[in-house]
Amino acid sequence: MTDISENNAQIHPDASVGLEYTDGSTEPQIGVNATIRAGTIIYDDVTIGDDLITGHNALIREHTTMGDHVIVGTNTTIDGQTDIGSSVSMQTNVYIPSNTTIGSNVFLGPNAVLTNDPYPVRKDVELEGPTIHDGVSVGANATILPSVTLGEGSFVAAGATVTKDVPPDTLAVGTPAVHEELPDELHGENNL
C-alpha cells in the first residue's frame, strides 16, 4: 500500500490503495485532499489528480488516469486502461469498461453502463469503449454501446440505449436512442 498521508488524504482503513496486479507495477500517484472510503480498491499504475472522492466499494483498475475533482461513486467500477478528465462525477453503480475516454465536466448518472465489446463472448475483437467529450451529461440507467462518441455538450436521457454517435449539443432519448434538438434549458455547462 502506498503512503499518501503527506497529501492530506483521508483513507479508510478498509480501503486498499496500491494493489499490485503484476510484478513491476508501480504505486498509484494520487494528488492532494483525496477521500477514499471503505471497500475501495485502487490498483497500481493509476494516476489521479487532486480532490478525488470515492464512495464505498469503488474499484479503479490499472492504467487509469484521472484529472482533478473526480467523484467515483459507491460500487462504481473503472476497469482500467481508461482516461478521465477533471470535474467528472460518476454516481452510484456506474460501469466504465477498459479502453474508454471521458473528457472533463462530465456527469454519469446512477447505473449508467458503458460497454466495450460489440459481440460479447461470440467473437474475438479489439475492445473499444465509448469516447465521451467535455460537458456531456448521461442520465440514470443509460447504456452506451462500444465505440460510440458522445459529442461535446450532448445530453443522454435516463434509460436511453445509445447505439450510434451523438453530435455535439444534441439530446439522445429512447431505446434505441434517437437524436433530438437539445432543449434551451439543457444548453450550457454542467454544474459539477
CATH topology of domain 5-186: UDP N-Acetylglucosamine Acyltransferase; domain 1 (2.160.10)
The pLDDT of residue 140 is 98
What's the CA gap between 62 and 27, in Å, rounded? 10
* Average pLDDT across the chain, whole number: 95
Domain boundaries, the chain: 5-186
- pLDDT one-digit tens code per residue, 19-32: 999 988 999 999 99
The reported pLDDT for the residue numbered 6 is: 63
Contacts of residue 42, defined as CB under 8 A and 6 or more positions apart, other chains included, come to 15, 16, 17, 18, 19, 28, 30, 36, 48, 60
pLDDT < 70 regions, the chain: 1-6
pLDDT digits (tens, 9 = 90+) for 141-152: 999 999 999 999
Nearest CA to 81 among 93, 66, 71? 66
Residue 1: what pLDDT?
A: 37
The pTM of the whole model exceeds 0.85: yes
pLDDT for 7: 83
